[in-house]
Homo-oligomer: A and B are copies of this chain.
Amino acid sequence: MENELINKKGQTEQQFLEEYSKTKSQYEAPYVTTDNLIFTIGDDEAGNGKRLMLLLIKREDHPYINQWALPGGFIDIKENLEATAERELAEETAVTGIYLEQLYTFGDVGRDPRHRIISASYMALVNSKNMKVAAGDDAKDAKWFNVDSRIIEEKKTFTEKGFNKERLIKISLNNGSEEAHGIIKTTKIVENGRTKKITREIVEKQNIAFDHAMIIEYGLQRLRNKIDYTDIIFNLLDEKFTWSELKTVYELIKGEKRYKDANFRRKFEDMIIETDEKAPVGGGKKGNRPPKLCMFNTDWEE
């Protein structure tokens, strides 16, 4: 039925599409890539226990040669956008079928000096035990970096019609031998009692390629927020875990100790089922009570 509709030229849809496929496009299309933020919980190289870690790849050519970049790559013309992210993730970590979420699409002119590139960023949370191949094994120089972000400045400037609010956020990355960092400025412009615009820009960076510091900052914010109202944290844990492991991972992501033990349990109690199993006793020099193993309660509703 739909195909019997004709346009102003008197074409059916089929005729239209046939003609369309023959015309050579004038349109200069940007390239499209995905950039993946792959987070895991790993051991700090300096031996300070567990840390939130991010996978980065060392660039082997210009531009930004020898600097660190997010893994990612070009979309194939016959591949769904999310499939590109999944493929890139599988190529880097040999992990499939894990949590993957689209974050934001970065599309400023000049993001890449070679070509106009629009990049959709995705966030993946992988449990290191599920990772079949550790990053860094293959030819590409891929490494896990400790990630950290913190606000270093907040400023409010008054304008005629309202005010601007700026915030400087520093992203720090290190893996024992290598160090990289970037400072992102977010600006919120308020005029006539309304938020007009929120912008993000990189004001300083070292050893991080492209605008990837901005993507990392965005992803960390999303992760920190979502952890409080979704079940994504369990993607970073083993299937069975103890309360203290959960709390440790929570605090690594949040970057602070927000809850006392008892209250932390109450916060997560609906999301968790305690099993009868006990984890082997670990830390205490004089022994201690073995903790129960817990599982995510899949009946939990957000």
Where the two chains meet, the residues of A that have a C-beta atom closer than 8 Å to any C-beta of B are: 2, 5-8, 11-13, 16-17, 20-21, 25, 27-32, 60-66, 74-75, 77-82, 97-100, 102, 104-109, 113-116, 118, 120, 162-163, 190-197, 231-232, 234-235, 239, 295-296, 298
Indicate if the CB atoms of B193 and A7 lie closer than 8 Å.
no
Closest to A25 in B: B115
**A98, A195, A231 pick with most chain B CB within 10 angstroms:** A195
Q: Is the CB–CB distance between A193 and B295 below 8 Å? A: yes
A298 adjacent to B13 (CB under 8 Å): no
Q: Nearest Cβ in chain B — how far from A228, in angstroms?
A: 12
Chain B: minimal CB distance from A178 (Å): 16
| B298 and A190 contact, CB distance less than 8 A | yes
Shortest beta-carbon distance from A33 to chain B in Å = 10
A17: chain B residues within 8 A (beta carbon): 62-63, 113-114
Q: Give 12 CB contacts A-B under 8 Å.
A: A5-B62, A25-B115, A28-B77, A29-B30, A81-B107, A81-B108, A98-B194, A118-B120, A193-B296, A194-B231, A194-B296, A195-B231
Q: Which residues from B are CB-within-8-Å of A16?
A: 61-63
A99 to B104: give the CA distance in the assembly, Å.
17
Cα–Cα, bound, A30→B63 (Å): 23
**Secondary structure class of chain A's binding surface, majority of residues:** loop
- List B contacts of A118 (CB < 8 A): 32, 75, 81, 118, 120
* Given contacts A17-B114, A30-B77, A62-B11, A120 and B107 within 8 Å (CB-CB): yes
Chain B residues within an 8 Å CB radius of A234: 193-194
Q: A17-B62, A30-B32, A98-B194 are in contact. List 9 more A-B contacts (CB 8 A).
A: A8-B60, A8-B61, A17-B63, A17-B113, A29-B77, A97-B191, A97-B197, A99-B195, A190-B298
Residue contact B62 to A7, C-beta cutoff 8 Å? yes
A80 vs B60: C-alpha distance in the bound complex, in angstroms?
28
Task: Report the minimal beta-carbon distance from A272 to chain B, rounded to whole angstroms.
Answer: 10
- A60 to B116, alpha carbons, bound, how many Å? 31
9 closest residue pairs by CB, A with B: A81-B107, A16-B62, A29-B29, A105-B105, A13-B62, A193-B296, A28-B77, A7-B61, A80-B108
